[in-house]
Chains A and B, each alone.
Chain A
C-alpha cells in the first residue's frame, strides 16, 4: 500500500524517491498485471527475493506472474506448459500475499489439454487469469474453448500483442487488430492487451471500439505522450499498470505513469483499481 507520488525533486539529497501524496491523490493498491518469473537469468526460487525487493522499492503491492513463456520456444507441449505453470505455483506458494498466478496456455495443444490445465491452475490452485502468447494467432478458432472457459470462470485473459516494424517476433504473433477480432468474438471476456508501447496510437485506435479490452502499460521505451494519448482515447478505466518484469523495470514503466499529466483519480485506476476489479481482489 502506498501514497503514490514519486517525484524526484522532493527529497533533499535527491536520491530518495519521495512518497508523499499530491493533493487529490488517495491511497491505492499498486498491482503489476504483467511479470514473468522465473525468467532468463532469474531462474532460482531465491531470485524471487530480488523481484520482491524491487517491488517494495516502488511500493508495488501485488505482482501477477504470467510464467516463463519462452522457456520452450514458441510452441510448448502440454507437459511443458504444465511445468511452466508449476513454477508459477511454486512462486505463489512462497509469497501468497503478493503473487498472483496467470495460467499460461498454448491453444495449439488442443481443447482438452487446455481445459485440464485451466482446471488444475484456476479451479484447483487459485490462479486468477489466463496468459496467451505467440504460439497461435488470436484470430484462430483454437482460442475459442479457452475464451469460453474464461467467460465461465470470470477470469481475464492477458494476450501478447505487438506491431513490430522489423517484422513479427514469431510467425503467429498477434497484433492489436487481431486482439480486436478476439474481443469482438468474446465481448463478455475481459481482455488485457499487453504492451501499450508496441500498440502505439494505431493499436489503441483498433481496440478502442471493443470495451472489453484493456491495455497494459508495458512495452518498448518510455515514449512520452503515448500514455496520456491512450487515456484520452480509451479512458483511464481501460489501462492497467503492467511492466513485463524482468524485461522492463518499474523505473521505466512507473516513470511513465508519474510523469504523464494525469489526474490522481486516473493514476489510481491505472495503478491498481482497474486490476483489482478485474481480478476481484478486495478493494483497498
Chain B
C-alpha cells in the first residue's frame, strides 16, 4: 500500500498548473499507484481563519476513499482549541503552516496545540516550506520554517508525533540527527539518489522517511521515483512508500 502524506486540493496561485479538484487528485493519484493520501486545502493556507476551507475539504473528500482530509489549524487564532475539538475526532492528522499564518513554533499557542495533539495521539504535520524560496514571486516571499525550531518543538513535546514536510536534504539530515522521533517527507529532497544517501548515512533514518509528493504543486512521479529507485533494500523502500506512514497513522 502506497501512502502519500503530502497532497492538497485547490489552486496554488503561483503555479503554472491548473486547479486540482478532489476528483482529479484522486484520479491522478490512482494512476500513479497511490492508495491513500493525506490531503489539505490550499485555500486554507491563505486564509487567516481556515475554518470554512476545512469544512469544505471534509465535505468534498467524503466520497473519495483515497483522500484523508487533514485540516489546517491556525494556533494564532484564539479559537484554535475549538477548531481542534471540531476536527480531531475525524482527522488522521493536523497540519500547520507557520510561515503563512505568521507565527513561530516557539509560542504559547503552539505549545498548547502540541500538548493537545500529543494527548489525542494525532500527528502534527509542519509545513516547512511550500516553494523553493529562490523561485517565489518577488513581492510575495515567504521564508521557510527554521528546522532548528522543529527540533526545539520536538524536544519540548517528546510524545508528539511530528512530520516536517518540505525539508531540503541538508535540513533533513540535521533534523533526523537532532530529533530521534521527527519524521520527514521526501518532497523537497534532492541530489543524486537523495533517499538512498539518507538511508545509507544512518540505517535508522529509514523508519522516519515518508513518501510525500507535494501534489498538486509538484509532479507525483518525482517523489515516487525518488523512493522506488533509491539504492536500498526492498524492505526499506516499502517502508518509505507506505509502511512508515501506516504505522504513524495507526492504519
Alpha-carbon distance between A58 and B193 when the two chains are bound, in angstroms:
12
Alpha-carbon distance between A32 and B8 when the two chains are bound, in angstroms:
32
Cβ of A43 under 8 Å from chain B: no
Q: Restricting to A124-165, which residues have a CB under 8 Å from any CB of B?
A: 162-165
**Which B residue's beta carbon lies closest to that of A229?**
B16
Cβ of B48 under 8 Å from chain A: no
Q: Restricting to B50-103, which residues have a CB under 8 Å from any CB of A?
A: none
Cβ of A225 under 8 Å from chain B: yes
Contact of A246 among B138, B191, B217, B231 (CB under 8 A): B191
Cβ of A222 under 8 Å from chain B: yes
**Which B residue's beta carbon lies closest to that of A199?**
B135
Q: Are A165 and B221 in contact (CB under 8 A)?
A: no
- Chain A proximity mask over B168-188: 1 for CB below 8 Å, otherwise 0: 000000000000000000001
Q: Are B16 and A251 in contact (CB under 8 A)?
A: no
Alpha-carbon distance between A228 and B16 when the two chains are bound, in angstroms:
9
Contact of A14 among B16, B217, B228 (CB under 8 A): B228
With an 8 Å Cβ cutoff, the count of chain B residues facing the other chain is 43
* Highest count of chain B CB atoms <10 Å: which of A51, A200, A224, A255: A224
Q: Are A220 and B221 in contact (CB under 8 A)?
A: no
Cβ of B115 under 8 Å from chain A: no
Alpha-carbon distance between A226 and B132 when the two chains are bound, in angstroms:
14
Q: Restricting to A232-270, which residues have a CB under 8 Å from any CB of B?
A: 245-256, 258-260
* Highest count of chain A CB atoms <10 Å: which of B31, B190, B223: B190
Q: Are B138 and A165 in contact (CB under 8 A)?
A: yes
Q: Are A197 and B135 in contact (CB under 8 A)?
A: yes
Q: Are B215 and A255 in contact (CB under 8 A)?
A: no
Q: Are B192 and A51 in contact (CB under 8 A)?
A: yes
Q: Which residues of A contact B2 (CB under 8 A)?
A: 14
Alpha-carbon distance between A51 and B222 when the two chains are bound, in angstroms:
18
A165/B141 contact (C-beta < 8 A), A15-B228, A249-B192 known: yes
Q: Name the distance in Å between A64's Cβ and chain B's nearest Cβ.
A: 16
Cβ of B120 under 8 Å from chain A: no
Q: Restricting to B202-251, which residues have a CB under 8 Å from any CB of A?
A: 214-226, 228-229, 231, 234, 237-238, 241
**Which B residue's beta carbon lies closest to that of A243?**
B192
Cβ of A115 under 8 Å from chain B: no
**Which A residue's beta carbon lies closest to that of B1?**
A14
Alpha-carbon distance between A57 and B220 when the two chains are bound, in angstroms:
19
**Which B residue's beta carbon lies closest to that of A163?**
B135
Contact of A9 among B31, B137, B138, B218 (CB under 8 A): B31
Cβ of B158 under 8 Å from chain A: no
Q: Name the distance in Å between B5's Cβ and chain A's nearest Cβ.
A: 16
A223/B234 contact (C-beta < 8 A), A8-B224, A166-B134 known: no
User: Can you show 24 pairs from A to B with CB atoms below 8 A apart?
Assistant: A7-B31, A9-B33, A14-B228, A50-B192, A164-B134, A164-B135, A165-B135, A165-B138, A197-B135, A198-B135, A201-B16, A220-B132, A220-B135, A221-B131, A224-B217, A225-B16, A225-B17, A250-B229, A255-B220, A255-B223, A255-B226, A258-B221, A259-B32, A259-B222
Chain A interface residues toward B at CB < 8 A: 6-9, 13-17, 42, 50-51, 53-54, 57-58, 162-166, 197-198, 200-201, 220-226, 228-229, 245-256, 258-260
